[in-house]
């Protein structure tokens, strides 16, 4: 198929779809027809910025990994480098056994290489188990996969899983160690085990990245909204506020209901919707996408009086053997210097790990009450907020369970045989915004090669 001014469709207007549309516009110029369909009333998907206490507050993703190049490079391309801000450099805490502990250092997603890293967070018995682990034979088949919870639980015990690993996986995937697989979530650990590490401690020590200077995270001064607006303007799409219901072959192109015939399509939707769109044209890929579960979560943003006494830390993660309903607090005004200037204290409480549908569907009133109750327990702050915002994210994050990479390979393999259809999105090669940008860029390059080789 050759078309210098093709008629293209992007399904899904989250960051993946917007980046894909922007890349297609850059490749084909003003003459191409690029339609972007999203059934939600707004663009952005899991990125959303609301106005609270006189300024922007992100209530979906609130940061990105700064060690990956994609976000700074994209901001630079869009003339937005002045938006880039880094955290104030404070450390996070973990709430466990009714007290606050420093987040362990020198761990891989909370998995320690030695007992010292977890001293104070777990009891003496757990520390002895970690210390003795190197001496026990390890049964790992190269190329295999298992849940992080099963691996760490067997080698180091349940306390390490619940107090050190779960809190971190709850943040990244809205998941639990038991629902997240080693190979997709911690690939460097799986590789160290494949190379023949004789214990989990040795594999972690081998896989730990060398300490680097510089911030781990970054964000946008004006919130993700600034990026969404710039991408949307630069992509100059025809926006169709509709759910795409089906996709089928139409001569050399594709027919998407209700948009009509197009030369090529990028599907940038969550796993469940992807499965529905592929079911007739790529049934194996559809079945693989259907096997990627999604976790729901909710964010309660609180604007509290300026003088409340939240600790001088960036956030608080909650151990899963603690009895709180919240899974984490971001102490936004402490974490980000630009938010400290707002005249209020901003705190984000997060709820919902895989399987916690009940709390996510609680009323706004109940979620705000739970956020305030749990914040009071962990910090002593019980002041009345001056503003609140409740944001639910149903199916917010795909669970990268054991075997996830096989499911992704099955999707990509069958879709590669569909001339003019590409897939992007958080289900593929990382849930974070940088990974979504990378996957969308790849999808757009592939589609460009197909429609105008």
Ligand X SMILES: Cc1cc2nc3c(=O)[nH]c(=O)nc-3n(C[C@H](O)[C@H](O)[C@H](O)COP(=O)(O)OP(=O)(O)OC[C@H]3O[C@@H](n4cnc5c(N)ncnc54)[C@H](O)[C@@H]3O)c2cc1C
Q: Which residue has the tokens 């999203």?
A: 38
**Shortest gap between Cβ of 22 and ligand X (angstroms)?**
12
Q: Which of 107, 159, 273, 332 binds ligand X (CB under 6 A)?
A: 273
Please state the closest distance from residue 323 (CB atom) to ligand X, in A: 22
Query: Should residue 95 be labelled a site residue for ligand X when binding is judged by CB under 6 A?
Result: no
Nearer to ligand X, 130 or 268 (CB): 268
Nearer to ligand X, 256 or 410 (CB): 256
Q: Is 278 in the site for ligand X (CB under 6 A)?
A: no
What tokens appear for 182 in the block?
């080693």
Task: Please report which helix (H) or strand (E) contains residue 206, including its range.
Answer: helix 200-207
Whole-angstrom Cα distance, residue 136 to residue 148? 18
> Interface with ligand X includes 315 (CB under 6 A)?
no
Q: Which is nearer to ligand X, 140 or 254 (CB)?
A: 254
Report cis status (omega within 30 of 0) of the bond before 258.
Answer: yes
Q: Which stretch binds ligand X (CB under 6 A): 35-43, 336-344, 374-382, 400-408?
A: 35-43
At its nearest, how many Å lie between ligand X and the CB of residue 260? Answer: 14
13 is a site residue for ligand X (CB under 6 A): yes
- Does residue number 131 form part of the binding site for ligand X (CB under 6 A)? no
- Tell me the closest approach of the beta carbon of residue 85 to ligand X, in angstroms: 14
Q: How far is CA 190 from CA 109, 115, 144, 196, in A?
A: 13, 21, 8, 10
How many residues does the structure list for the chain?
453
DSSP 8-class letter at 428:
T
Find the binding residues for ligand X in span 224-263 (CB under 6 A). 243-244
Structure tokens at 140: 């790992």
| Pairing of β 84-85 and β 111-112 | unpaired
In angstroms, rounded to a whole number, what is the distance separating the alpha carbons of residues 157 and 130?
8
| 159 binds ligand X, rule: CB under 6 A | no
CA distances from 248 to 32, 257, 261, 369 (A): 22, 9, 9, 48
Closest approach of ligand X to the CB of residue 60, in Å: 5
**Least separation, in Å, of the C-beta of 320 and ligand X?**
18
Q: Which is nearer to ligand X, 199 or 320 (CB)?
A: 320
Site stretch for ligand X (CB under 6 A), options 40-48, 76-84, 109-117, 175-183: 40-48
Residue in the shown chain whose Cβ atom is closest to ligand X: 45
Q: Under the criterion CB under 6 A, does residue 218 sit at the interface with ligand X?
A: no
Kindly write out the interface string for residues 288-307 of this chain, putting x where it contacts ligand X by CB under 6 A and - elsewhere. ---------x-x--------
Tokens of 260: 């009509």
Selection from 259, 235, 234, 229 nearest residue 247 by Cα: 259
Cβ of residue 114: shortest distance to ligand X, in angstroms? Answer: 29
Which of 436, 438, 447, 451 is in the footprint of ligand X by CB under 6 A? Answer: 436
E strand segments, 331-385: 344-351
Three-point CA angle 251, 255, 257, nearest 5°: 160
Strands 99-102, 93-96: pairing is antiparallel
Q: How far is it, in rounded angstroms, from Cα 360 to Cα 354?
A: 11
- 64 binding ligand X? (CB under 6 A): yes
What minimum distance in Å lies between the beta carbon of 161 and ligand X? 22
Let me know if 146 is exposed, middle or buried by CB neighbors in 10 A (0-12, 13-18, 19+).
middle
Among 111, 367, 421, 433, binds ligand X (CB under 6 A): 433
C-alpha to C-alpha distance for 299 and 164, rounded to whole angstroms: 22
Determine which residue in the list 8, 9, 17, 301 makes contact with ligand X, applying CB under 6 A.
Answer: 17
Q: By C-alpha distance, which of 349, 65, 411 is closest to 218?
A: 65
The reply on whether position 38 binds ligand X by CB under 6 A is yes
For ligand X (CB under 6 A), the number of binding residues is: 36
What Rg, from alpha-carbon coordinates, does the chain have?
23
Binding-site ranges for ligand X (CB under 6 A): 11-17, 37-40, 45-47, 60-64, 243-244, 268-270, 273, 297, 299, 393, 396-397, 425-426, 431-433, 436
């Amino acid at each position: 198929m050759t078309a210098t001014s093709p008629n293209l469709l992007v399904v899904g207007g989250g960051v993946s779809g917007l980046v894909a549309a922007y890349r297609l516009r850059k490749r084909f110029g003003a003459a191409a027809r690029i339609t972007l369909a999203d059934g939600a009333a707004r663009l952005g998907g899991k990125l959303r910025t609301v106005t609270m206490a006189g300024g922007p507050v992100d209530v979906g993703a609130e940061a990105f990994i700064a060690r990956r190049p994609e976000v700074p490079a994209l901001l630079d391309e869009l003339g937005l480098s002045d938006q880039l801000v880094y955290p104030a450099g404070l450390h996070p805490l973990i709430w466990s056994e009714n007290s606050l502990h420093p987040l362990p250092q020198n761990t891989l997603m909370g998995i320690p290489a030695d007992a010292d890293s977890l001293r104070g967070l777990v009891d003496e018995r757990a520390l002895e188990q970690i210390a003795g682990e190197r001496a026990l034979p390890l049964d790992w088949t190269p190329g295999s996969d298992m849940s992080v919870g099963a691996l760490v639980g067997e080698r180091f015990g349940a306390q390490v899983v619940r107090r050190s690993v779960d809190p971190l996986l709850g943040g990244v995937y809205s998941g639990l160690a038991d629902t997240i697989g080693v190979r997709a979530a911690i690939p460097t650990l799986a590789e160290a085990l494949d190379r023949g590490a004789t214990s989990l401690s040795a594999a972690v020590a081998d896989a730990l990245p060398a300490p680097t200077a510089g911030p781990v995270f970054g964000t946008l001064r004006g919130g993700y909204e600034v990026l969404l607006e710039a991408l949307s303007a630069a992509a100059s799409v025809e926006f169709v506020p509709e759910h795409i219901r089906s996709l089928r072959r139409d001569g050399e192109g594709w027919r998407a209901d209700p948009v009509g015939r197009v030369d090529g399509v990028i599907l940038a939707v969550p796993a469940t919707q992807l499965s529905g769109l592929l079911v007739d044209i790529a049934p194996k890929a559809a079945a693989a996408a259907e096997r990627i579960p999604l976790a729901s979560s909710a964010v309660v943003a609180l604007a509290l009086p300026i003088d409340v006494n939240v600790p001088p830390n960036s956030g608080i993660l909650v151990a899963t053997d603690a009895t709180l309903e919240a899974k984490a607090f971001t102490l936004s005004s402490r974490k980000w210097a630009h938010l400290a200037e707002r005249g209020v204290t901003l705190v984000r409480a997060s709820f919902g790990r895989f399987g916690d549908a009940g709390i996510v569907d609680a009323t706004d009133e109940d979620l705000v009450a739970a956020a305030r109750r749990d914040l009071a327990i962990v910090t002593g702050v019980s002041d009345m907020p001056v503003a609140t915002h409740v944001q639910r994210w149903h199916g917010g994050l795909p669970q990268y369970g054991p075997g996830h990479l096989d499911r992704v390979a099955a999707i990509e393999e069958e879709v590669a045989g569909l001339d003019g259809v590409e897939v992007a999105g958080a289900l593929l090669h990382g849930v974070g915004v940088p990974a979504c940008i990378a996957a969308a860029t790849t999808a757009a390059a592939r589609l460009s090669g197909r429609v105008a080789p």
